[in-house]
């Protein structure tokens, strides 16, 4: 956007953490604000200062976009659903004595690390104040959640041969969560 250096710097600061389409929209509003002050008789530098002050701190705007992003909403929903789905799986794993299954220790450890990583990503997306971080963490967490659900469903169906209702319920819940997570990957990425 042409105009005083102050406005260009302000937009550059926003561009560091917001996608181009959002910065374009903000630039349009900032330009309108700047022109209003010019119309009131202020010189270009003073008009730019007033316009930037009226728009608010870039950090605050970025945090507000992060708060309003679909990635954050998705992450919060997945975090809210986590305990219920986890409880279903825990009951099945304990009932079926999962510790006796012939699953290599490395695989168990990898699953644990993946689970902790996904929870960390969800927390970062749900609480982060940086827009890009929130979007990327949410998208990665969605993919990770779907993969964890797929692994759980496959593992339990391989080792639990009787399809009792708790297994059916857990599989259905996990499948729903995985579908929800995968469907929201594009939304999370685009904010």
Partner 1 sequence: MRAEELKGHLDALLLAALEDGPRHGYAVMEALRQSTGGRLDLPTGTIYPALHRLEAAGLIAGSWSVVAGRRRRVYELTAAGKEALSGKRAGWRDFAAMMSAALEGRPCQGPA
Total residues at the site for partner 1 (CB under 8 A)? 28
CA distance 82 to 174: 10
Of 10-39, binders to partner 1 (CB under 8 A) are: 21-22, 24-29, 31-33
Crossing angle, helix 131-159 and helix 165-183, to 10 degrees? 150
Of 59-78, binders to partner 1 (CB under 8 A) are: 60-61, 64-65, 67-70, 73
In 3D space, the residue among 134, 146, 148, 151 whose CA is nearest the CA of residue 187 turns out to be 134
Q: Residue 191 interacts with partner 1 (CB under 8 A)?
A: yes
Closer residue to partner 1, CB minimum distance, 16 or 68: 68
**In angstroms, what is the minimal distance from the CB of 66 to partner 1?**
8
Closer residue to partner 1, CB minimum distance, 61 or 88: 61
CA distance 144 to 190: 18
**In angstroms, what is the minimal distance from the CB of 122 to partner 1?**
19
Sign of CA dihedral 47, 48, 50, 51: positive
Helix (H) or strand (E) holding 41: none
Closer residue to partner 1, CB minimum distance, 30 or 170: 30
User: Of the ranges 58-66, 83-91, 110-118, 155-163, which one interacts with partner 1 (CB under 8 A)?
Assistant: 58-66
Closer residue to partner 1, CB minimum distance, 26 or 118: 26
Tokens of 48: 């730019």
Of 171-190, binders to partner 1 (CB under 8 A) are: 187
In 3D space, the residue among 49, 11, 5 whose CA is nearest the CA of residue 29 turns out to be 11
Closer residue to partner 1, CB minimum distance, 68 or 109: 68
The HSE-up count of residue 175 (CA atoms within 13 Å, CB side) is 10
Q: What is the largest CA-CA distance in the chain?
A: 80
**In angstroms, what is the minimal distance from the CB of 18 to partner 1?**
10
Backbone φ/ψ region at 130: left (φ over 0), alpha (ψ -120 to 50), beta: beta
Which residues make up the interface to partner 1 (CB under 8 A)?
1, 21-22, 24-29, 31-33, 54-58, 60-61, 64-65, 67-70, 73, 187, 191
């Amino acid at each position: 956007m042409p105009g005083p250096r102050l406005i260009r710097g302000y937009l550059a600061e926003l561009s560091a953490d917001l996608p181009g389409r959002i910065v374009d929209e903000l630039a349009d509003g900032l330009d309108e604000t700047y022109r209003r002050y010019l119309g009131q008789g202020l010189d270009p530098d003073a008009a730019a200062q007033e316009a930037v002050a009226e728009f608010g701190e870039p950090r605050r705007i970025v945090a507000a976009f992060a708060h309003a992003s679909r990635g954050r909403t998705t992450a919060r929903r997945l975090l809210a659903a986590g305990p219920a789905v986890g409880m279903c799986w825990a009951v099945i794993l304990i009932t079926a004595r999962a510790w006796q299954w012939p699953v290599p220790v490395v695989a168990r450890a990898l699953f644990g690390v993946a689970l902790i990583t996904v929870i960390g990503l969800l927390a970062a997306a749900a609480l982060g104040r940086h827009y890009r971080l929130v979007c990327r963490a949410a998208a990665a967490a969605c993919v990770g959640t779907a993969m964890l659900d797929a692994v759980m469903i496959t593992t339990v169906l391989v080792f639990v041969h009787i399809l009792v209702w708790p297994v059916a319920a857990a599989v259905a819940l996990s499948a729903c969560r995985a579908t929800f997570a995968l469907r929201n990957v594009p939304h999370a990425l685009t904010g």
